[in-house]
Amino acid sequence: MSFRLTLSAALAVSLGAMAPLYAADGDPPAKAKAVEAAQSKAVNPFLAPSPLPYQFPQFDKIRNEHYRPAFEQGMAEGRREIEAIANNPEPASFDNTIVALERSEQLLGRVSRVFFAQAGTNTNDEMQKIQTELAPKLSAHNDQTVLNGKLFARVKAVYDARDTLGLDAESKRLVERYHTDFVRAGAKLSDADKTKLKAMNAELASLSTRFSQNLLKETNASAIVVDKREQLKGLADDAIAAAGEAAKKRELEGKFVIPLMNTSGQPALASLEDRTLRQRIMQASLNRSSHGGEFDNRAIIASVVKLRAERAALLGYANHAAYVLEDETAGSIDAVNKLLGQLAPPAVANAQAEAADIQKVIDKDGGKFKVEAADWAYYTEKVRKEKFDLDAEQLRPYFEMNNVIENGVFFAAHKLYGLSFKERKDLPVYLPDIRVFEVFEENGNPLALFIVDYYARSNKRGGAWANAYVAQSGLFGTKPVIANQLNIPKPPDGEPTLMTYDEVNTAFHEFGHALHGMFSNVKYPFFAGTSVPRDFVEYPSQVNEMWMTWPEILGNYAKHYKTGEPLPQALLDKVKASEKFNQGFATTEYLGAALLDQAWHQITAKQAPDADGVLAFEAAALKKAGVDFAPVPPRYRTTYFSHIMGGYSAGYYAYIWSEVLDADSVEWFKAHGGLTRENGDHFRKTLLSRGGSEDAMVLFKNFSGGEPYVQPLLERRGLTATKK
């Protein structure tokens, strides 16, 4: 486990980095420590590699009380390992410095990957306390490594000699990336500035943790309580039943609870006929963590953006965005601003045209109001029905979850890559709903383990994501253990889980990340799986979305959960006809968030507002960017924009940046015969298997044969012409 991957786990907490638990006078006496380690090893499942297949985590043995001692011992061992590398009397070499760093901090890596994954998907009060304690300590621990002058001198010595060492391409790139990461982390700063940087990193880590915990609590507290079933008119029966179950869990017998998702828009808004209830839901969503009280995030945001700007200046950058983008494929603020600036005017113009269509329906229905954010989804469905004779609810009976996973997502991977899947019920899971599949190559060789965690929970953060519990590495001989997380409302016991069209798309998307991790074929853990630039990591997963509606795949899984009848061709034709429908809204709400992210991170510390000015700054930024269209609020407002508290700060543009590559690649697949093993093997060999071992854009060119072309994206989103 390299320190880089330890840091990656900590990035779930902060951009900062990690802190010693023991006082400055050193570790506990060696004898006492040895006794403690021997006693702990017998009961703490983290202190040795898991004996389960693939080093699968021992979820049946892991308890809250195991985390602290494992982190303590992991950091203590890590400090000793790093000091041994830094003080090695032998001249610096690739093996005794760079490879030694890759081999360091194994224990810390094991506990970090499990803890931060569980903190996102299955947290509890004790874990949140631990997370709060750990954030500054882990930050300081990482700083001890990257700001260690002796260690950096050795890294630099290897870096300076890299062309004379006879290294293979991956090893040479590893040297270069270590040197870059150390420099960007502040290794060249003066001792006084390093002290300042450590304090900033520790505070940022703590603030980020507080933000995420506030948001989880606020989202749960903001769930909408509905007194009478008739107020839920328009919702599907299974959604009403789920709302009733949610109320029972809160001891609100006879009532109904509509929980909030992490985005501004909420699923129920598309169906609810009661406008007052729709407005309550939208207002609660938009106001999260911004209206006072213990879960308010405005002060945290103000502190974070100021500290990030100060840190960027200390490191020699104009602002935090300049710091982040230098190491992405975009390369500069100008490149990102140019792309977002090109997309915003036609997106908003299309959204305004869509609003006009909605207003016509409102007026036709006798509504005496102008369309608002709370109305958009509901009336969009009416417009969809009018234009395409399509009701999105008609699709859900054909998207039963198990069918989607096994006969859709997995089937596509089988056709494209030759993979097969076998459920493993012998491995321990952290909740009964979790499923584990072993993944095999076409020749029967084992490839990976895949964990499916699709249901929403009150102790699970919003959104969807993928994570690695074990990363592939030739150095250690490990095979990947990858998880996908979604947030699908769980139906009452005995009822089928029927997914929306968007949820099915998300399942294919997240499995694209999983494939990126499973197919990883690199030597060094530094480069494993999705260890690529942030504005490249979404690209392979977006490509995988294309197979959701590929006829051969769709025909294999889109079957009515009761009758087994396939999705009618007429209904499918309507879906295809409506693909560009509402893209003005979708692009505008995304761009609103992406532009907000850049606005917050392209300022200096002096320009950062205080807590009371956060919402005014947000409003001014949206107006300046030309995306302040009230019926289409940003996908995330500042106070619940979790992405920018972690690895996506100044990087939320990555989705649209990656989509340029994605749209171009979809055209490549179509031009080369579509769903074929030859195409899948080419994508795997040239790109998916390489992780971060080569420059990201070189990988893209190796796959596609040329530079990315933006026109397919514009056509996909209907932005080639401004609607009048």
The catalytic residue positions are 510
pTM beyond cutoff 0.85: yes
C-alpha separations of 45 from 108, 123, 128 in Å: 13, 19, 20
Query: Any idea which of 362-371, 402-411, 676-685, 715-724 has the lowest mean pLDDT?
Result: 715-724
Mean pLDDT of 249-276: 95
**DSSP state, 524?**
S
Greatest CA separation found in the chain?
Answer: 84
Paired tokens of 485: 């997380």
The per-residue pLDDT for range 468-522, each reduced to its tens digit, is: 999 999 999 999 999 999 999 999 889 999 999 999 999 999 999 999 999 999 9
In this model, does residue 34 exceed pLDDT 60? no
Q: At what angle do helices 64-86 and 149-160 cross, to 10 degrees?
A: 60
Rg of the chain over CA atoms, in angstroms? 25
Contacts of 593 (CB under 8 A, 6+ apart): 634, 635, 636, 641, 643, 652
**In 3D, which of 285, 311, 178 has the Cα closest to residue 223?**
285
Query: Any idea which of 120-124, 421-425, 572-576, 682-686 has the lowest mean pLDDT?
Result: 572-576
Contacts of 528 (CB under 8 A, 6+ apart): 5, 468, 471, 472, 473, 480, 517, 520, 522, 691, 692
Paired tokens of 44: 């703490």
Paired tokens of 64: 């809250």
Residue 286's CB is within 10 A of a number of other CB atoms, namely: 18
The per-residue pLDDT for range 146-185, each reduced to its tens digit, is: 999 999 999 999 999 999 999 999 999 999 999 999 999 9
**In 3D, which of 228, 220, 206 has the Cα closest to residue 277?**
228
Q: What is the pLDDT of residue 54?
A: 98
| Residue 327 to residue 330: CA distance in whole angstroms | 8
- The secondary structure of 644-706, three-state, reads HHCCCCCCCCHHHHHHHHHHHHHHHHHHCCCCCHHHHHHHHHHCHHHCCCCCHHHHHHHHHCC
Cross-sheet strand order for the sheet of 481-488: 420-423, 435-440, 446-455, 481-488, 465-470
**In 3D, which of 209, 213, 200 has the Cα closest to residue 16?**
200
Mean pLDDT of 23-48: 56
Type of residue found at 681: D
**Confidence at 11, pLDDT banded by 50, 70, 90:** very low
The per-residue pLDDT for range 513-564, each reduced to its tens digit, is: 999 999 999 999 999 999 999 999 999 999 999 999 999 999 999 999 999 9
353: phi then psi, degrees, rounded to nearest 5: -65, -40
Mean pLDDT of 437-455: 98
Give the rounded distance of the alpha carbon of 443 from its chain centre. Answer: 32
Share of the chain above pLDDT 90, in %: 86
**Confidence at 391, pLDDT banded by 50, 70, 90:** confident
